[in-house]
Structure 1
Amino acid sequence: MAGGGEGGGAGSDVVHVVMFPFLAFGHISPFVQLARRLVSDEAAGVRVTFLTAAGIAPRVEAMLESAAGAVRVLPLNLPEVPGLPAGAASTADVSGDGAELLKLALDGTRPEVRALLAELRPDAVLVEFATSWVCDVAAPLGAKVLYFSVFSAVSFAYFTVPARLAGGQPPAALTARDLMVAPAGYPAASPLTSAPPQLQGPALVYPYTSFHGMPCVYDRVVAGVEGSAGIVMKTCREMEGPYIDYISSQFGKPVLLAGPVVPEPPQGELEERWASWLSSFPDDAVVFASFGSETFLPVAAATELLLGLEATGRPFLAVLNFPKGPDAAAELEARIPPGFEERVRGRGLVRTGWVPQQHILRHRSVGCFVNHAGFSSVVEGLVAGCRLVLLPMKGDQYFNAALFARELGVGVEVAQRDDGWFGRGDVADAVAAAVAAGGDGDAKWRDFFTNEAVQNKFQVDFIRELKKVVRA
């Protein structure tokens, strides 16, 4: 193990792990979940230091509250980048090109990160695509770098393996047509041997497109994996075995599996304003629709969603969020159909902003969860006992939806045209199918995710493999 500083030290069984995710909460959350899991058993001998931008450090600390004392959050000072708003510290603070500029800002923290790692002397550093340069910084210090993919194995295998460039062409030369076909060697039994037709044009080629002269996402991923001692994935063989094996063979690296990292039960009680409204309905009656903080429905799509929820005849709570900048109240108003509020008064609520999702999902009256097929959201919904309706909007979400609904028998996909359009009837039909009798796949995987012995074994096995890599 790395010696000196604050690392475990030679001969010590304590492993000091530094985590350094991209500045998007959709990326930070999986790192936080893994950090909490790693330090939950003091006897396991793992402690964590978390690096993030100073502007969001307090929020990250709040996310790690249950692990306070075992996880230390260190703030980084982002350098000024032309075009990046002053004080911007995450994708929640920017719009449009801001996410690309945040990568430049992160690149600019290299000297500060080098100094911190030299002081901390960690045994391992977990990075991802935007922080792949840490491989070069950590190597002289003797720290082992592990590449943590926050995406499902099914989508990571499709987009970022070396076979994508089997012809030797640069990433920028790949066309949408090239990407409609799975890379060579991709698991033949997969329902996704071609890209979902809804994933078209710029969205499909984005990982291979360079901005501001920076390496594209694909190049960053490959550099991070090739410079690492292994790949960490928040999944398991039971769910994604063939894709895990394909990734390992493509990169010639071990894949350390953390398991699906089931969220801890929420702390405290549900606020009275939510509890009172939800409690006015029978058990399992309410449909909850939420798409996370970084998936935004266009006006037409949001309107059809709301009309579809109305058409179910069920009580519902819908949460719609918007990119940074526009007036949220005005954006919400633009998506609410004429006469809608009067027609659903007493049984339908539409809100924007943060809501206590885990508390809401676990309320006795909530029986169906319409979501964007984000990996964590699907797991949260299953663990809470909700039937799932999957309505992917972008990128890996389409792959997640196919994995869960078509391979694992979990949830119901909303029917979408090749251009991604769906109608109110498609939403209502999917909800009806999800709440109908059956759901054997949901029950099987709910039992799997809530089996404490199974989840504990994932944790024990992962920490054992982590220590093996560190000691190698």
Structure 2
Amino acid sequence: MESITVPPTMANNNKDSKLHIAMFPWLAFGHMIPYLELAKLIAGKGHKISFISTPRNIYRLPPLPPNLSTLISFVKLPLPENPNLPEGAEATADLPEDQVPHLKIAYDSLQEPITQFLKTSKPDWLLFDFAPYWVPEIAQTLGIPTAFFSIMIAAVLSFLGPTSPGIPPDDRKLPEDYVVPPKWVPFSATVCLRLFEVLRLFKEITGDETNVSVVYRYMKILRGCDVIAVRSCAEFEPEWLGLLEVTHGKPVLPVGVLSTTPNTDEDDNETSRSIKDWLDRQSKNTVVYVAFGTEATPSQEEATEIALGLEKSGLPFFWVLRTKHGEEAVKLPEGFEERNEGRGVVCRSWAPQVKILAHDSVGVFLSHSGWSSVVEALTFGRPLVLLPMSNDQGLNARYFEEKKVGFELPRDEQDGSFTSEAVAESLRMVLEKEEGRVYRDRTKELKPLFGDRERQNVYVDKFLEYLTTHRGCRTT
């Protein structure tokens, strides 16, 4: 995929013409993929997209459908060299978690090239992520209207804090302040962090002398953007979407849940065929699917308890156990794979998650609570056992349990540890027992909402209608 510079003539204020939208996601595949899904839906309606990222990340994105290749241009901005980053590291998946701050510093060095691109291409709108807190000022100077596109649900965004002058400011300072719902939430809610999650995230919340905090980035972005776009829908979290408008005093536009488009090339993959053969041999609604996304990796202690819990459950399982670049692979209990041969599979490479979740044999999904994975699960009506590991996942888990689409695995409040017995019991409860029926029934009820692409696509239409109507509303 070649880098394409969009000529200035592409910018056009004629209300009847198509839009040119630039997109600038954070350098994590959990962010880039939803941005690309939205880009494909927008391009499918005839609008032009400039998708901005680094060369290696663009190379690793899924291929575009042929009918969209002329409408989506990939703009490659090389990352400046950083002595603290390994060679070739351009995404969070390339790094251990403790090195991700160095990637943010390198990303912050893209201010000049992004300014030059925006000056040259003059897009009608710029959609950006949480990380480039310096982008709103650049766009405002150039007279380009902006939308912060959040890949997180509105409940999580609301937890981060208000920016509207009419709302009392966030005065949380101690870890204990984050274990209750924020004071600006006017309705009954359970969305808050648990103590062990706060302690793990506290540096991200407060920042340090080398890097601004994640919360600071979000707040600057939320203050500086013209519009907040959210990967969500009004049927799933109406009260939180409404609260966002109040706490930030600007339009909040849901764009739908953006279910991942399956890659048809996966059917011809030998790995995919062998996985399907194994799933075909299992009974309907019996398999435990275990996966923790591209970013979350269980510790050695957690992996041991998960393995023993799967074994104790007596259920068939398919476990995707990958290792992030630069991290040591976790070891499974001695003899685990031999004892469970035939009943369970441990896959240490890529696996086609959408196709696995679509298979009738899958009965429950043990997940890290990442929104993309939950969207995929609910698209096929699969109930969840939730094991949040980092970032926004704990907040997600509280809301998903509140909505009765998943059961959160019981853990120690101080250190987040859990037992193999809790793993086994949680899986059996959600999959088989009467008290788990509420999760099984609720996910079946939501399947028509999450699985209906046309219904979700209406949100994209409304979003584009807003962008088209307001594209001339530039500040300079």
Common fold by TM > 0.5: yes
Aligned match of 1:38: 42
Aligned match of 1:444: 445
Which consecutive unaligned segments of at least 5 residues does structure 1 have? none
Q: Which residues in structure 2 correspond to 1:145-294 (within 5 Å)? A: 145-162=146-163, 166=168, 174-192=173-191, 194-212=192-210, 214-268=211-265, 269=267, 271-294=272-295
Deviation readout 1:113-144 (Å, 9 max, x if unpaired): 11111111100001122112121222233211
Confirm or deny: 8 A CA contact 1:256 1:466 kept in the other structure.
Answer: no
The DSSP-based 3-state class of the residue aligned with 1:380 is helix
**Matching of residue 127 in structure 1 with residue 122 in structure 2:** no
Confirm or deny: 8 A CA contact 2:291 2:366 kept in the other structure.
Answer: yes
Deviation readout 1:328-347 (Å, 9 max, x if unpaired): xxx23x2x112212210111
In the aligned structure 2, how far is the partner of 1:230 from the partner of 1:216?
Answer: 22
Aligned match of 1:409: 404
The DSSP-based 3-state class of the residue aligned with 1:185 is coil
Q: Which residues in structure 2 correspond to 1:54-69 (within 5 Å)? A: 54-60=55-61, 62=63, 67-69=68-70
Aligned match of 2:4: none
Aligned match of 2:369: 373
Confirm or deny: 8 A CA contact 1:318 1:351 kept in the other structure.
Answer: yes
In the aligned structure 2, how far is the partner of 1:226 from the partner of 1:136?
Answer: 11
1:11 to partner: Cα distance: 3.8
Confirm or deny: 8 A CA contact 1:94 1:324 kept in the other structure.
Answer: yes
Aligned match of 2:300: 299
Confirm or deny: 8 A CA contact 2:369 2:388 kept in the other structure.
Answer: yes
In the aligned structure 1, how far is the partner of 2:248 from the partner of 2:372?
Answer: 26
**Matching of residue 20 in structure 1 with residue 13 in structure 2:** no
Q: How many residues align?
A: 456
Q: Normalising by structure 1, what TM-score? A: 0.90
Aligned match of 2:422: 426
Confirm or deny: 8 A CA contact 1:103 1:130 kept in the other structure.
Answer: yes
In the aligned structure 2, how far is the partner of 1:109 from the partner of 1:395?
Answer: 24
In the aligned structure 2, how far is the partner of 1:284 from the partner of 1:65?
Answer: 36
Aligned match of 2:101: 100
Which consecutive unaligned segments of at least 5 residues does structure 2 have? 1-6
Aligned match of 1:359: 355
Confirm or deny: 8 A CA contact 2:161 2:170 kept in the other structure.
Answer: no
Counterparts in 2 of 1:281 and 1:66: CA distance versus 1, 3 Å = farther
The DSSP-based 3-state class of the residue aligned with 1:282 is coil
Confirm or deny: 8 A CA contact 1:204 1:395 kept in the other structure.
Answer: no
Confirm or deny: 8 A CA contact 2:22 2:127 kept in the other structure.
Answer: yes
The DSSP-based 3-state class of the residue aligned with 2:264 is coil
Aligned partner (choices 330, 336, 341) of residue 340 of structure 1 = 336
In the aligned structure 1, how far is the partner of 2:9 from the partner of 2:229?
Answer: 25
Q: Normalising by structure 2, what TM-score? A: 0.89
Counterparts in 2 of 1:280 and 1:395: CA distance versus 1, 3 Å = same
In the aligned structure 2, how far is the partner of 1:122 from the partner of 1:102?
Answer: 26
In the aligned structure 2, how far is the partner of 1:370 from the partner of 1:52?
Answer: 31
In the aligned structure 1, how far is the partner of 2:111 from the partner of 2:275?
Answer: 44
Aligned match of 2:311: 310
Confirm or deny: 8 A CA contact 2:164 2:247 kept in the other structure.
Answer: yes
1:149 to partner: Cα distance: 1.6
Structure number with greater CO (CA < 8 Å, separation at least 6) is 2
Confirm or deny: 8 A CA contact 2:164 2:248 kept in the other structure.
Answer: no
1:61 to partner: Cα distance: 5.5
In the aligned structure 2, how far is the partner of 1:163 from the partner of 1:313?
Answer: 52
Confirm or deny: 8 A CA contact 2:10 2:121 kept in the other structure.
Answer: yes
In the aligned structure 2, how far is the partner of 1:250 from the partner of 1:58?
Answer: 38
1:51 to partner: Cα distance: 0.4
1:23 to partner: Cα distance: 0.7
Q: Which moved more, 1:441-450 or 1:260-269?
A: 260-269
The DSSP-based 3-state class of the residue aligned with 2:10 is coil
Confirm or deny: 8 A CA contact 1:382 1:388 kept in the other structure.
Answer: no
How large is the Cα RMSD of the aligned pairs? 2.4
Confirm or deny: 8 A CA contact 2:297 2:323 kept in the other structure.
Answer: yes
In the aligned structure 2, how far is the partner of 1:168 from the partner of 1:196?
Answer: 18
